[in-house]
A = this chain, B = another copy of it.
Amino acid sequence: MVKSTIKLFYTGAVVFVLLIFFIDREILPESVRLLGKGTAEYNDQTIYGITSTYARLTQKADLTRLIYTLMHVPNFHWILIEDSVEKTPLVRRLLQKSGLKYTHLNKKNKKNSHHKSGVKDLLTRNAALAWVRNNVTQGVVYFMDDDNTYDLKLFEEMRTTKVASVWPVGLVGGLVVEGPVRCKNGKVLTWRVTWETNRTIPIDMAGFAINTALLRQHPDVKFVDAFDLESIFLGDLGLTRDKMEAKGNNCREVNVWHTQTAKANLYQEKVAQQLGDEYNPIIET
């Protein structure tokens, strides 16, 4: 009776191990196995959100709103980098008040060749990457615009990123949904894109996350001054389309939208300013 129970136990254990081995081969990309990690290790990883921000009329509002979303995300570390020559008191106060775990950086972006106004946030993003490489041993990196909209589910899904993950993004690239839209067993079958469809990995900045281990394996890879900077960055990290871990409930859900805050139109501000000091006290906005 005891012997047969022990035999049953060992048989079960062997079947279990073989099962895990084959499931692993089936659904995980090669690069995951190369990193040699088990799934359980990824369930409580810290997410490092990298956000570039710059002074403008709607900045305080946009950051305030984003902070209220981030306050709901457990194990989150916000790397907020100001596109400025100095850190500003406005941003410093917002961060201190937020109660978030954060790192406050600054770096002045430069205009560059590929865009009328420069490829957005090139130097700030690379400075934040350098900070991550120098300070983080384990986690997931995600690039976040300060006026995008994030569903909390997105963070819980990206948290299990083993190497690099990808998901659909709403309202970007002239489309309602862009990126992976049909996925199976964690692999992307169909990419919905209309711009430069032959890119290595055709995805917007809001549509992927990477494990910091990958950044450390490729210590020199950073964003370059090109329109398809996301795809080049991911390619330089050794990624291909079928190495990307598909999230978003197998790409059936949009959990991030590339919303943009309309520029404030202050057509009456000059008139108000001429009313005199009494009407124009210093109020931080």
Question: Does residue A72 face the partner (Cβ distance < 8 Å to B)?
Answer: yes
* A149 vs chain B, min Cβ distance (A): 4
A195 at interface by CB-CB < 8 Å: yes
Q: Which of A10-18, A59-67, A110-118 contacts B (4 or more CB under 8 A)?
A: A59-67
Contacts of A271 in B (CB 8 A): 194
Counting from the closest, the 9 A-B pairs by CB-CB distance are A174-B268, A61-B257, A61-B149, A260-B262, A174-B267, A194-B268, A171-B264, A262-B262, A68-B69
Q: How far is the CB of A207 from chain B (nearest CB, A)?
A: 14
List, in ascending order, chain B residues with CB within 8 A of A62's CB.
149, 259
Query: A181 in the interface, Cβ–Cβ < 8 Å?
Result: yes
With CB as the reference atom, state the residue of chain B lying closest to A253: B283
Q: Which chain B residues border A171 with CB–CB below 8 Å?
A: 57-58, 61, 264, 266, 285
- Given A261-B262, A264-B171, A272-B192, are A283 and B57 neighbors across the interface (CB < 8 Å)? no
Report the minimum CB–CB distance from A83 to chain B (whole Å).
20
CB-based contact B168/A257 at 8 Å: no
Is there contact, CB below 8 Å, between B285 and A254? yes
Number of residues in A with C-beta < 8 Å to the partner?
53
- Given A252-B281, A262-B260, A283-B168 in contact, is the A65-B149 Cβ separation under 8 Å? yes
A243-284 Cβ-contact flags toward B at 8 Å (1 or 0):
000000000111001011110111111011001001111011
Report if A190 contacts B (CB, 8 A). Answer: yes
Residues of B within 8 A of A64 (CB): 149, 151, 257
| Separation of A173 and B269 alpha carbons in the complex (Å) | 9
- Count of this chain's copies in the oligomeric assembly: 2
- Encoded as 1 (CB less than 8 Å from any B CB) or 0, chain A from 139 to 150 comes to 000000000010
Binary CB contact string for chain A from 164 to 183 against chain B (1 if under 8 A, 0 otherwise):
00001011011111000110
A-B contact pairs, 18 of them (CB 8 A): A61-B170, A61-B171, A64-B149, A171-B285, A174-B265, A174-B269, A175-B266, A177-B285, A181-B279, A190-B278, A190-B279, A194-B271, A253-B283, A254-B283, A259-B262, A260-B261, A260-B262, A261-B262
The complex places the Cα of A56 from the Cα of B170 at a distance, in Å, of 13
The answer to whether A283 and B194 have CB atoms under 8 Å apart is no
A19 at interface, CB cutoff 8 A: no
